[in-house]
Amino acid sequence: MNWRYRILQSLRNFRDWLVAQLIFIFLKALRLIPMDSAARVFERFARWLGPKTGRHKVAMDNLERAFPEKSLDEREQIASDSWAQTARTVLEYGYLDKIFDLDENNLGAGRIEVKNAEQFIKLRDDGLPAIIFTGHIANFELLPMAAAKFGLEIQSLFRMPNNKYAAARIAAARKQIAHNLVASGQGASFQLMSALDRGVHVGVLVDQKFRRGINIPFFGHDAPTNPLLAKLARRYECPVHGARSVRLPNGRFRLEITDELVLPRTEAGDIDIRGTTEMIAAVIEDWVREYPEQWLWIHRRWG
């Protein structure tokens, strides 16, 4: 049995390597084309291919759960737009150096504009640790780049892709824009705690399903959610902010960061774990309702 397992594992590794190499070659070739032209081609291809995959059913099931009041045609349009936006985000990994032209002294002059930029300055200068959360909305990879531009150090928690070869390349690309990265999984919470102990800011993606989490209402349905952010906020009594990327017309982006959230507390005065987790989920839901086509619908969010 061992030799059979080793052969199967070798075949899986070769498959993953081949898929990763084809993707990298394709993205490298695309850099020979102007980014906006390549993005239009990529988006059209994704709109054609996406509905032919099994993930499209996941997206449509999620959309029916989130927006029962919308017609099937409306949900299909959101799914199609989401496929296009996801494809564009993947493409943009190869053009991050061209996209990110933020000038902190002349905000909004290029592709990137920043809303509530003074919060970045406050977080940088107040000497306190803080937690900044976001979701898989538009090109969320631009957020740590913006923070770095303002001199704000963030230890970011992210999920590695299942394909280890793609994961290694993406990790290398991410390190060009953010050096303090923590892969989700065993031990990740201790790394984040260590960062907060040192007064470093922590960034967390909070919109994915977490089977061992607590059930929190999301679009009116219970969704298993990781309470890690709330537990860290309670332990360190540190500020919590939300941040998001919004895709604008003509290849532009608006990056937004909220004011410090006033978190719910228990009768004893401690930060309420469930109440805070519900509050964070409500913020993400509001963002998704505003720009549903910019969220990643292909992940199973509910039980």
Could you read off the pLDDT of 206-218 as tens digits, one per residue? 998 888 899 999 9
Q: What is the pLDDT of residue 63?
A: 98
Mean pLDDT score of the chain: 84
Assign 238 a pLDDT band (cuts: 50, 70, 90): very high
* Bridge-based pairing state of the strands 221-225 and 214-218: antiparallel
Distance (Å, rounded) from C-alpha 30 to C-alpha 98? 13
Assign 229 a pLDDT band (cuts: 50, 70, 90): very high
Express as a percent the part of the chain with pLDDT over 70. Answer: 83
Which amino acid, 50? G
Could you read off the pLDDT of 171-188 as tens digits, one per residue? 555 555 555 555 555 556
Distance (Å, rounded) from C-alpha 134 to C-alpha 158? 11
Q: Which of 232, 261, 293 is nearest to 116 (CA)?
A: 261
Calculate mean pLDDT across residues 275-297.
97
pLDDT of 192 over the 80 cut: no
Distance (Å, rounded) from C-alpha 145 to C-alpha 139? 11
Can you give the pTM of this predicted structure? 0.84
pLDDT: is 291 or 105 the higher one? 291
Q: Which of 102, 159, 160, 152 is nearest to 132 (CA)?
A: 152
Assign 32 a pLDDT band (cuts: 50, 70, 90): confident
Could you read off the pLDDT of 264-280 as tens digits, one per residue? 999 999 999 999 999 99
Q: What is the pLDDT of residue 55?
A: 92
Q: Which two tokens stand for residue 41?
A: 């081609």
Q: Which of 95, 91, 46 is nearest to 297 (CA)?
A: 46
Burial of residue 110 (CB within 10 Å: 0-12, 13-18, 19+) is middle
Q: Which two tokens stand for residue 282?
A: 């409500």
Calculate mean pLDDT across residues 114-129.
89
Range with the poorest average pLDDT among 139-148, 242-251, 294-303: 139-148
